[in-house]
């Protein structure tokens, strides 16, 4: 069944490797249930079902993480994406997926040099004053080299691994078909929408493969911060005795030409578009302290409270005000600069929120902060869509959950923890969040965790509250209400104008007998496939019976060609009946084994 869904036979080699890795890590039952074994056996591939004995003692999340690491770049990225799906997996699975490190052996400089030459139209030594052949870092999709422009300025050159796209595209084709099979063949997985998860992952990974798209995202976020100034807010947080230390937009610097330049509190690396394309991007080099090196932060005399609050406000601005945010704000993607400034890098994973989504998010967060269980329940039910759910039971659990925080002061609320507990309730009800919201909630949890690493007293709820209330006031301001009302009126008028024409088309189609009603019955295609298979077996059985009866009659008729002393045509009929019977028995045995699994 899987064989018929594969795009080309070339994917079978990769499928065999994937099946072998899953079996080795103790997931042979998954290979069977998804039909991978049957497909490979039909294609002539033999699977070895012995798994490594020592691995069996490991917990399932650990074995799955190690299997994803062995399967290569696309599967590592899939695991990293699944780490954001706190609505689908228990904490122990999320913890293992979060450990997936996007690292890989470096690509030889000769291969990198040749690809850069093809992209630039000249050798990289002619494009840059200097480029270091030794990479700064190597990941599964790209590796990074440091270079210096001819006009001055340090840059990083991010190069996509040669020949990585065909391999990833093959894996994405396989993943999409496996998600379809999982949704059809494994009923308990349907509530998690595996096809939607893989589709969202494929879109995200293809965007990540396009470095020009990543750079456009970086420039969009940089534009959103171009007029951002939080110096007044940050100054109130400075420790006594450090009031003379500048903390943001008030800082200035003098460049080589003697011009005074205002320093932004949030830094996004500049993009050099003359050298940037789909397979390579060139951005300004950030000279700062990695978010992972808190010891260096203290040694540099930076203020942790200011950094925690500034980073939180920046990400909240991206989410609540802009609707376009850095979706992976972990310490490895953050640098701390003099003046308590913050730089964000790596915009391969970004999140997008529509205006309606932002409204729902604001209502949810305000409901959590203000202990409004009804508001929280309403938003969650909107998010779960048309999935059948016991609304009364869900509402009761949310009320009990909110009661735990009823008398907790705002400063003591752990907003990330509350969101994680809330998602756990959805998981218990087998409800999955839309992919964009799952990414958002994971970003919130990561953000609060990073803030508390910098400052144990960090108050995420307190930082979010003013921005949420401001956004809510803006939504219900007279001007915004009038704008939405006018838009609704315009849409209603357009509908009324088009209504006569639509009715005319409907009646004309009915008179011509061309009126069609399409009914989408869930899994009807799967049922049809099963019926088709059963009918095929019945037809083969009838043909086998006819061959046996006909051959028996031919055997009694004298004359005609013979073989081994027997009538040739009668013997030929019996051979055909034996072949058909064996096929029928093997087909029934395969289905019975699949049903038992």
Q: What number of other Cβ atoms are within 10 A of residue 119's Cβ?
A: 18
- The residues, any chain, with a CB within 8 Å of residue 502's CB and separated by 6 or more, are none
Beta strand pairing call for 562-563 and 324-326: unpaired
* CA–CA gap between residue 551 and residue 569 (Å, rounded): 7
**Residue 262: helix, strand or coil by DSSP?**
strand
CA 592 centroid distance within chain: 36
**Residue 351: helix, strand or coil by DSSP?**
strand
Asked if residue 270 lies in contact with residue 147, where contact means CB atoms within 8 angstroms, the answer is no
Write the CA distances from 232 to 238, 247, 250, 310, 462, integer angstroms: 11, 9, 9, 11, 17
CA 26 centroid distance within chain: 25
Left (φ > 0), alpha (ψ -120 to 50) or beta: where does 132 sit? beta
Asked if residue 525 lies in contact with residue 532, where contact means CB atoms within 8 angstroms, the answer is no
Asked if residue 245 lies in contact with residue 302, where contact means CB atoms within 8 angstroms, the answer is no
Left (φ > 0), alpha (ψ -120 to 50) or beta: where does 576 sit? alpha
341-344 sheet: strands from edge to edge:
266-267, 341-344, 334-337, 289-290
- DSSP code at position 456: T
Asked if residue 216 lies in contact with residue 208, where contact means CB atoms within 8 angstroms, the answer is no
Asked if residue 409 lies in contact with residue 419, where contact means CB atoms within 8 angstroms, the answer is no
Rg for the chain, CA atoms, rounded: 31
* CA–CA gap between residue 458 and residue 452 (Å, rounded): 5
Task: Let me know if 488 is exposed, middle or buried by CB neighbors in 10 A (0-12, 13-18, 19+).
Answer: exposed
State the catalytic residues: 328
Tokens 């706190």, located at residue: 86
Q: And the tokens for 270?
A: 């500049």
**Residue 68: helix, strand or coil by DSSP?**
helix
Quote the longest CA-to-CA distance of the chain: 118
* CA–CA gap between residue 170 and residue 152 (Å, rounded): 42
Beta strand pairing call for 341-344 and 266-267: parallel
Indicate the length of the chain as a whole number: 597
Tokens 């110096």, located at residue: 231
Q: And the tokens for 243?
A: 């009031």
């Amino acid at each position: 069944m899987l064989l018929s869904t594969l795009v080309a036979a070339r994917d079978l080699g990769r499928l065999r490797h994937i099946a072998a890795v899953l079996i080795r890590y103790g997931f042979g039952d998954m290979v069977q249930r998804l039909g991978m074994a049957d497909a490979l056996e039909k294609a002539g591939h033999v699977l070895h079902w012995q798994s490594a004995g020592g691995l069996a003692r490991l917990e399932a999340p650990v074995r799955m993480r190690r299997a994803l690491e062995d399967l290569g770049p696309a599967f590592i990225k899939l695991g990293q994406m699944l780490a954001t799906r706190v609505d689908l997996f228990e904490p122990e699975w999320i913890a293992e997926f979060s450990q997936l490190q996007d690292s890989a052996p470096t690509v030889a400089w000769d291969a990198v040099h040749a690809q850069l030459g093809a992209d630039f139209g000249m050798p990289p030594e002619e494009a840059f004053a200097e480029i270091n052949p030794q990479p700064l870092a190597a990941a599964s999709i790209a590796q990074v080299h440091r270079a210096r422009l001819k006009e001055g300025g340090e840059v990083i050159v991010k190069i996509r691994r040669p020949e990585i796209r065909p391999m990833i595209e093959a894996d994405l084709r396989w993943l999409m078909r496996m998600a379809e099979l999982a949704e059809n063949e494994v009923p308990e997985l349907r509530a998690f929408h595996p096809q939607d998860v893989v589709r969202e992952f494929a879109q995200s990974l293809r965007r990540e493969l396009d470095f020009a798209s990543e750079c456009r995202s970086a420039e969009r976020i940089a534009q959103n911060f171009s007029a951002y100034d939080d110096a007044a807010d940050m100054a109130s947080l400075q420790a006594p005795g450090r009031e003379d230390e500048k903390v943001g937009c008030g800082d200035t610097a003098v460049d080589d030409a003697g011009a005074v330049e205002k320093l932004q509190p949030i830094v996004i690396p500049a993009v050099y578009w003359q050298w940037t394309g789909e397979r390579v991007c060139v951005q300004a080099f950030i000279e700062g302290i990695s978010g992972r090196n808190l010891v260096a932060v203290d040694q540099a005399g930076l203020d942790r409270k200011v950094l925690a609050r500034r980073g939180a406000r920046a990400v909240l601005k991206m989410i609540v005000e802009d609707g376009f945010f850095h979706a992976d704000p972990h310490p490895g993607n953050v640098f701390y600069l003099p003046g308590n400034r913050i730089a964000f890098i790596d915009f391969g994973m970004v999140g997008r929120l529509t205006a309606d989504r932002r409204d729902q998010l604001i209502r949810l967060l305000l409901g959590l902060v203000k202990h409004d269980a009804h508001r929280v329940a309403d938003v969650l039910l909107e998010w779960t869509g048309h999935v059948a759910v016991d609304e009364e039971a869900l509402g009761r659990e949310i009320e009990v959950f909110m009661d735990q925080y009823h008398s907790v002061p705002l400063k003591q609320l752990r907003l990330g923890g509350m969101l994680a507990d809330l998602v756990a309730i959805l998981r218990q009800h087998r409800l999955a969040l839309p992919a964009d919201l799952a990414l958002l909630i994971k970003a919130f949890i990561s953000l609060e965790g990073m803030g508390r690493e910098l400052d144990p007293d960090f108050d995420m709820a307190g930082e979010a509250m003013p921005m949420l209330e401001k956004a809510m006031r803006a939504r219900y301001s007279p001007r915004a209400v009038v704008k939405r009302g006018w838009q609704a009126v315009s849409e209603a008028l357009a509908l009324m104008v088009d209504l006569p024409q639509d009715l005319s088309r409907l009646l004309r189609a009915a008179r011509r007998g061309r009126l069609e009603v399409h009914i989408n019955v869930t899994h009807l295609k799967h049922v049809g496939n099963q019926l088709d298979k059963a009918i095929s077996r019945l037809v083969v059985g009838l043909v086998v019976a006819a061959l046996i009866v006909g051959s028996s009659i031919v055997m009694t008729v004298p004359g005609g060609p013979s073989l081994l002393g027997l009538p040739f045509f009668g013997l030929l009929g019996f051979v055909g009946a034996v072949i058909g019977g064996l096929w029928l028995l093997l087909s029934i045995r395969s289905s019975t084994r699949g049903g038992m699994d």
